Amino acid sequence: MCLCLVTMIAAMAAGRLAGQSVERLQVRADSLLREWRRASALADMVDSLKHGRAAGGTDTISVGALRIVATPSPARLREAAARAWPVIDSLYGSEAQQLAQRPYLIAPYDPDTTSPKPMLRGAIQVPWDKDVASLAMLLLTNVPIGRPDRALQNWLGGSVLPIIHPLQARAAVYVQLVTAPSQAARSCFLGVIGDCRNALALSESPDPLQQWYPSTGERRALVFRSFAEYFGYSDHGAHKSGLQQCGAGSDAACTELLRSLPPGALPRPLTYDARAALVQVALRLGGRAAYHRLVATPGEPIADRLAGAAGVSGDSLVSLWRSEILAARPAPVTLPPWGPWAALGWTAVFAVCALRSSRWRAS
């Protein structure tokens, strides 16, 4: 009896340790992958600079820690960098100093010539006559900051980048909260912070389908709005029967179809814009070291990492995010007083034109 008990305890301990070892190994693997990518990027940069110098030289533009290595041209890159740097610095804080060692590679070209474009390996090619605003946007959407760990990228749906038009982005998230076919999103709109966490995919759950789309109607709507074509034609129509049963009202069929999706294919209630807005709030609250804190703890849950970056509790962070989203409610479209009369007038004009057409005349 004692031997069996000892064996059972040892097995449980071994399983727990094995699970922890796998987690530690995964974190270590992610860290090594980031270092490899960084070394590879630096090697490519050195190689590109050598080729650039051999082909006729390069210019280096410095604004703050931002560096641009570009082939000679009249492009207004320095002015664009002066616009982009304050935005980049405010987002990444102390981590923005990485850019001193991770320059942009840009190869402007003359759009009005058929001459070969300047070659700079790995460089962004852009017409040299682009205006400053367009060049600044190019810099903001291609910040060569080190990639975050896989867990953060998977949750966010991409890299942490500046939001170019924050007010419009928050307004779009407002519309999502109102229209998303998810009870979690609608409850978040009504003020249930726990459901905001669910809609933002912050609450870890072994069953995200049930967490994000708990009702029969939501699951049926998701099948037909997002995956009707996929289930109708994938695997040579193997899911057609299930699709028909789902349409006829079988929740079991709808659920089975959604559970058959490839890993990661189940859409989250809210899009990248919503999660990116949450990250921006956290980084703004946390000050210049916020981004560093966010990426320094890859093994922790995303909700804890965001709260740690912001320096506030997770619920406080999500509540502030929700307040900012609601404050960005799109302005309703209002017609001028003469609008209805103009519409009636045009309707009358079209009606008269239609009646005068020979198609409507008696022969």
d(CA 14, CA 18) in angstroms, rounded, equals 6
Q: How large is the average pLDDT for residues 216-229?
A: 90
Q: How large is the average pLDDT for residues 176-184?
A: 89
Q: Which domain holds residue 47?
A: 36-140
State the pLDDT at residue 121: 75
Q: For the purposes of burial, counting CB atoms within 10 Å of the CB of 54, is it exposed (0-12), middle (13-18) or buried (19 or more)?
A: exposed
State the pLDDT at residue 55: 46
d(CA 37, CA 102) in angstroms, rounded, equals 12
d(CA 273, CA 200) in angstroms, rounded, equals 10
Position 107 pLDDT exceeds 50: yes
**48 and 123 belong to one structural domain:** yes
**182 and 315 belong to one structural domain:** yes
How does 65-84 read in b/e, with b if 16+ C-beta sit within 10 Å? Answer: bbbbbbbebebbbebbbbbb
243-278 per-position pLDDT tens digit? 999 999 999 999 999 999 988 889 999 999 999 999
**315 and 276 belong to one structural domain:** yes
Q: Which residue is listed with tokens 């994938």?
A: 234
**158 and 305 belong to one structural domain:** yes
Question: Are the C-beta atoms of residues 95 and 291 closer than 8 Å to each other?
Answer: yes
- Residues 6+ positions from 172 with CB-CB distance below 8 Å: 273
Residue 75, helix vs strand vs coil: coil
> What's the token pair of residue 239?
């899911």
Question: Are the C-beta atoms of residues 86 and 68 closer than 8 Å to each other?
Answer: no
Query: pTM of the entire structure?
Result: 0.74
- Residue 6 placed within a domain: no
356 versus 56: which is more confidently predicted? 356
329-350 per-position pLDDT tens digit? 987 645 556 556 555 665 766 6
**201 and 283 belong to one structural domain:** yes
**173 and 99 belong to one structural domain:** no
In this structure, what DSSP letter does residue 71 have? -
**166 and 309 belong to one structural domain:** yes
**156 and 264 belong to one structural domain:** yes
Domain count along the chain: 2
- Residue 10 placed within a domain: no
Sign of CA dihedral 90, 91, 94, 99: negative
**159 and 131 belong to one structural domain:** no
- Residue 13 placed within a domain: no
**314 and 203 belong to one structural domain:** yes
